[in-house]
Structure 1
Amino acid sequence: MKEFTVCGVQIAPKPNDISYNVGKIKEWAKKAKKLHNPDLIVFPESATTGFTPNMPISEFYNLIDPIPGKVTEEMEKLSKELDAYLVVPMYEKGEQPNVVYNSAVVIGPSEGIIGIYRKTHLFPTERLSAGGWSTPGKEAPVFELPFCKLGVMICYDGDFPELARELVVKGAEVIVRPSALLRSFDIWELTNKARAYDNHVYFVAVNAVGPDAGNNFYFGHSMIINPIAQKLAQARGTEEIIYAKLDPDPIKYVTYGASTPMIFDHVEDRNLEVYKNIMKKSKCPFEPAKRIPY
């Protein structure tokens, strides 16, 4: 990894107005470039529509774009214009009717589309099988950028330490978490810090603000966490930009500003013999109010 600057752009998408939201993404990306000259700019989950469509799946399927498509063409132009890498979360039209992925596309100024991550852990309300609209992805890619190896998790994905660990075992140095998260700030902060500290990676969590078409209101508070769980930046509950310069040598000391050397590595120090059952199907020991299957 090389030293680089990342921006999290916390915006309120206009529900289901893709043209408007593409314009807003461009506006805020240009503002981020002018203020902080970032190498990487990250937007919230479903930034082109908002999270909840609040329309029949067939109608929503016809509203959105495939990848590549018109939206990504505009984002490729933007990336090239700004000479910055972009993570643009958007619903993706699948090849089969009514197959919609909750995706994030990684775009480079010279490369164009580098790759796509499709959300693998769908929040219960969005699952197509339960009356929602999204189909889960099946892969956890790590993207090679000139300055880092990048993993992507989307919102509810961040509740699963297994996914973050999978990305890190594959080489990720930075994980971004575009989100439209409604649960408490405590859970948001806890899971962001835990995923960073569990794996000694940088964690860039960018949440939406404002309402979606389902009248859900998102609280923002995007944050950038370093590999020893120190918060480098945090947004408020409004549209704004956060940024941080990421040090390529971040775990020399056990806490920020201290002289005590770091002598452990959570990834290398795993006792793999203990985890033989981790891939078995199971459930928590307590019953939620309702179980919604995939």
Structure 2
Amino acid sequence: MPRVLTIALLQISPTGTLAGNLAKGIQACRRAAELGADIALLPEMWSNGYALHGRPVEDWISEAIDTDGDFVVAFGKLARELNMAIGVTLLERHEGGPHNALVLFDRFGERRLGYAKVHTCDFDVERHLTPGHEFPVCTLDTAAGPVHVGAMICFDREFPETARILMINGAELILVPNACPMEINRLSQLRARAYENMTAIATCNYPDSVPGCNGNSTVFDGIAYLPDGPGEDGSRDMCLLQTDGAEGVFVAELDLDQLRDYRGHEVQGNAYRHPELYGMLCSGAVEPPFVRPDRRVVPMPERG
């Protein structure tokens, strides 16, 4: 029997309160478990429903919570009860400014991954957040066997380096909590990240009842070609799931054996690269012309 990982995207709208979001998130996770999910993913910053815009900064910063607080811990307990991994998202309390964060629990309720959004939207209110410093990958125990999982959050998807590093770090599946309109160009970004890295990518957005969002949550399996694929040279559509704008819990089945076999012989991912030529991408020595010289990012200090 092929090893199949069932992924649930919880495309649900926030309630306006932390307690309400906890209750609704738990209800959605229970529905995901009823649908046979091995892993459930919430949209971006579920703890406060990504309620940043049009509010005084000090108001929404005060809503930051701890990753070892009651809200997050409740999802860990639920993961163990349901025997299902859960990716919970939050505005995380952090010295110097909150993180836009994800905590991934395995089916035993153990924390396997903590990720803070690296590419915060510094052109907008997210400039008040503290960006993360790394792209970790964990080994997640599932009923389908161990799966190597990483994460990127919303704007992270717009930087090919994010998914590339996650792939190099071993990711087979990338989870993407999201909170923005998923139109054709952003959907194409996700398709491209899956294609070029031979990595499955599951994105959970808010439904169209949330201002500035439109659903269109997706799962791309990263398998662009199969011997019996319908297109030229066996090409196929990598999209396993694309939702509409409605609120709901949606599932897709990822064939892990098929993905691993594909990664073992195809030409994308970590094959045929020339990293010795890519130094200028990370040297910080890029000279003009620069597309937006006023938006160059100062390199982060080395961490001790």
- Aligned residue for 2:4? 3
Separation (CA, whole Å) in 2 of partners of 1:113 and 1:100: 20
- Aligned residue for 1:18? 18
State the shift of 1:83 in Å: 0.9
- Aligned residue for 1:71? 71
Distance 1:253 1:293, change over 3 A: closer
Aligned residues: CA RMSD: 2.6
- Aligned residue for 2:239? 231
Separation (CA, whole Å) in 1 of partners of 2:30 and 2:57: 33
Mapped contact 2:203–2:218 kept (Cα < 8 A)? yes
1:83-125 Cα distance to aligned partner (Å, 9 max, x none): 100011111011x2x5200001111232432231000001121
Q: Report the AA paired with residue 278 of structure 1.
A: L
Mapped contact 1:6–1:243 kept (Cα < 8 A)? yes
State the shift of 1:201 in Å: 0.6
State the shift of 1:270 in Å: 1.0
- Aligned residue for 1:140? 135
- Aligned residue for 2:204? 206
Mapped contact 1:226–1:250 kept (Cα < 8 A)? no
Mapped contact 2:80–2:109 kept (Cα < 8 A)? no
Distance 1:71 1:265, change over 3 A: same
- Aligned residue for 1:58? 58
State the shift of 1:39 in Å: 0.8
State the shift of 1:291 in Å: 4.3
State the shift of 1:191 in Å: 0.8
Q: Paired residue for 1:106, among 104, 125, 140?
A: 104
Mapped contact 1:227–1:250 kept (Cα < 8 A)? no
Separation (CA, whole Å) in 1 of partners of 2:282 and 2:296: 20
Separation (CA, whole Å) in 1 of partners of 2:251 and 2:14: 20
- Aligned residue for 2:301? none
- Aligned residue for 2:277? 274
Mapped contact 1:235–1:241 kept (Cα < 8 A)? no
Separation (CA, whole Å) in 2 of partners of 1:266 and 1:292: 28
- Aligned residue for 1:258? none
Distance 1:112 1:205, change over 3 A: same
- Aligned residue for 1:247? 255
Mapped contact 1:10–1:207 kept (Cα < 8 A)? yes
1:219-258 Cα distance to aligned partner (Å, 9 max, x none): 110000011251001111011222222112335579xxxx
Q: Report the AA paired with residue 59 of structure 1.
A: D
Q: Report the AA paired with residue 279 of structure 1.
A: C
Partner of 1:249: helix, strand, or coil? helix
Q: Percent identity?
A: 26
TM-score by length of 1: 0.85
State the shift of 1:278 in Å: 1.6
Partner of 1:277: helix, strand, or coil? helix
State the shift of 1:284 in Å: 7.7
Structure 2 counterparts to residues 20-39 of structure 1, below 5 A: 20-34=20-34, 36-39=35-38
Q: Which runs of 5+ in 1 are unaligned?
A: 255-260
Separation (CA, whole Å) in 2 of partners of 1:217 and 1:74: 29
1:155-204 Cα distance to aligned partner (Å, 9 max, x none): 0000111111111111111001110023x511221011011011001000
Q: Report the AA paired with residue 250 of structure 1.
A: Q
